[in-house]
Amino acid sequence: MASAEFWYEFASTYSYPAALRVGALADERGVSLVWRPFLLGPIFMAQGWRDSPFNIYPAKGRYMWRDLERTCGAMGVPLKRPEPFPQPSLLAARVALALEDPERSDFSRRVFVAEFGQGLPIGERATLSALLEECGVESIPTFERAQGHANKARLKAECARAAEIGIIGAPCLVTADGEVFWGNDRLEQGLDWAAGAGGAA
């Protein structure tokens, strides 16, 4: 079966619609997905950015929020800008990585909906706890695993891997033959590529 990796960052605005769309798009094409949460922070730091480029460049930020509003409007999903933006996403990324599918993708979608659909603070343990319970996952042992040394190191390795394969933003679709497709607007193209040229697992 063809496969592809879905790389996402919980603080990333366009990862929100992408996380809601990618599962069905992959199913339609018979592509199996690996959900790979990571952090953009180290990648931005390497470019000299100590904040989201949408904050550093206000005109870019204004454009992005309006574009996202149109995207969410067309999908019929709510958009509520979280304060502050970007939200601290480290804990959520660790928790997602500590889960296996289908819990990982289920939890991840719920984090995005809480954050960008309802404006909830996803940096807070209480928010994530409630979402874990909704997934039918016990939160206390999950947080323990998420905050353990092994899982922290694993997330660091994921971030290093993202930089290595040329990921410069989120979300990205990465195919088995190493193609990187960046953006919510590249999901279809990336999954078509995975299903057709290369991408065999």
**Residue ranges that bind a second copy, judged by CB under 8 A:** 43, 47, 57, 59-60, 62-63, 66-67, 70, 74, 163, 166, 168, 179-183, 185-186, 189, 193
Residue 171: HSE in the Cβ half-sphere, 13 Å Cα cutoff: 29
Least separation, in Å, of the C-beta of 62 and a second copy?
6
- Shortest Å, Cβ 144 to a second copy: 36
As measured in angstroms, the least distance from the Cβ of 26 to a second copy is 19
To a second copy, the closest distance from the beta carbon of 46 in angstroms equals: 8
* Length reported for the chain: 201
CB of 18 to a second copy, least distance (A): 14
Tell me, rounded to whole angstroms, the distance of Cα 105 from its chain centroid.
10
- Cβ atoms within 10 A of the Cβ of 133, count? 11
- In order of 7, 162, 168, the CA distances from 165 in angstroms are 11, 5, 9
List Cα–Cα distances, 68 to 163, 191, 196, 198, in angstroms: 25, 22, 29, 31
Tell me whether residue 63 or residue 84 sits nearer to a second copy (CB atom). Answer: 63
Tell me whether residue 70 or residue 125 sits nearer to a second copy (CB atom). 70
CB of 167 to a second copy, least distance (A): 8
153 vs 160 by CB, closer to a second copy: 160
| Residue whose CB is less far from a second copy, 143 or 182 | 182
48 CB-contact burial (10 Å; exposed 0-12 / middle 13-18 / buried 19+):
exposed
Written as one string, the DSSP assignment of 108-161 is HHHHHIIIIIS---TTSHHHHHHHHHHTT--HHHHHHHHTSHHHHHHHHHHHHH
Tokens found for residue 43: 């990648």
C-alpha count within 13 angstroms, C-beta hemisphere, residue 151: 20
Looking at the Cβ atoms of 57 and 85, the one nearer to a second copy is 57
- In terms of CB distance, is 56 or 153 closer to a second copy? 56
